[in-house]
Structure 1
Amino acid sequence: MKKIVYLALSHVLLYLALLPFKPAQASAGQIAQHNTSQSTLTYQAFIKQLALSQGKGTFKQAKHFSFLTQPIVSTGSFIVHQESALWQGEQPVFSQLLLTPQAIFRRLNLADTYQKIAQSSDITSVLTTIFTGDINESNWQIEPNISVQNNQQCLAIKPKVDVLKQLFQQVSLCLSLDQENMYQRWIYLTEAKGNKTDIHMSVTATSLSSKEQAALIP
């Protein structure tokens, strides 16, 4: 039964794995993308940037299937508050995934009520550690050296437990500074079957209205 639940959550992991990232004011040590004399972020500094206790923004996701020449692209928005997160797909179809400490919920229409799709402390814990930046080393093998790829600083993690190995070969979490010295965020997922998903997320604000916070209650 657990295996079925875990596999059903593959899309939730794909959608929510990137939520760790937090915008920050650029400091001298963080301008590596624009000033090659600066060193890349240390592992500890990178992990610190992953944590996002509150914020909202937009995303663009490209799903690459081996049998298609063009990726399937979707866009939407997200809200994060403490240990809860709302991932809302808007184009080409509407959907909402709501992650709470107790369970994960889904609905395909605002007029519908949320349907619980999982209640597993194990998998919820995995998701929570990912988007809070507190990566559980018992579940993930972490490459401690930050790599630089295409002006992005990236942290690679690989699954260590069977349930995650069924979903992913590797996950790369990446940060880079844009021309306004604001962090842009990407996640690159290589799935177990070889398909790949690229997600670009942009945090637009770290404050939430009462209505936005209420949206995180199922």
Structure 2
Amino acid sequence: MDEAGEQAGSEEETQKLAQLKKFLEEKIEALDREVEGLRAMSRIVDKELAARSFRRGTGEPVSPAVQPRRPISTGFAAAGAPAPTAPAAAPAFEERRMELVYRGRPVGSAYISANSVRIAPDEKFGLRTTTSPFESFLLRKVLDEIHETDTERAGRGEIRPDQILSYDVVEENTLLKEVVVNNYGDSDRLNRILRASAWTFMVMSQK
């Protein structure tokens, strides 16, 4: 092949490579749009599932007896919070009990006070903290995301550091006893947490 032929072949190959690159870029853009659409649909499904998972219980205030537990903290401590000290006698207070229900089936209870909520699954389920989607959804997608949002707001001076949501997981040998959430915020945010908890407990109980 003469020099002119080689040059023509090289140009043709270059054009093909350029066309292939363009095709790949367009394909990547299309896939990116598809992924974003799927993520948006997933968020909508999560929201709808959570919305169907909670109903209010009797709302009667109860004063549950304090049971000895071995708390294991797997969440965040509120920024600026003092180091834990030896427990003192707890002052008397009342908690408002709410039943967590998913599709007509009781899955646990929530004990709500002014600034914190204890969320406990039904003991008959024997749920384990290692069972999904406890960590992947309830802790990481719900509670951790709220914590991060609060941290950003505190950084902007919108809330005080001691108002940042924090939580603790109370377990015994991976047996889930309760999740204690501090600084849950307003009623909308509390309802989001309770709906997510009810859905999570139901899914865990089916595994």
TM-score tier, shorter chain, comes to under 0.3
In terms of fraction of residues, the more helix-rich structure is 2
The two structures have a TM-score, normalised by structure 1, of: 0.25
**Structure whose alpha-carbon radius of gyration is higher:** 2
The two structures have a TM-score, normalised by structure 2, of: 0.26
In terms of fraction of residues, the more strand-rich structure is 1
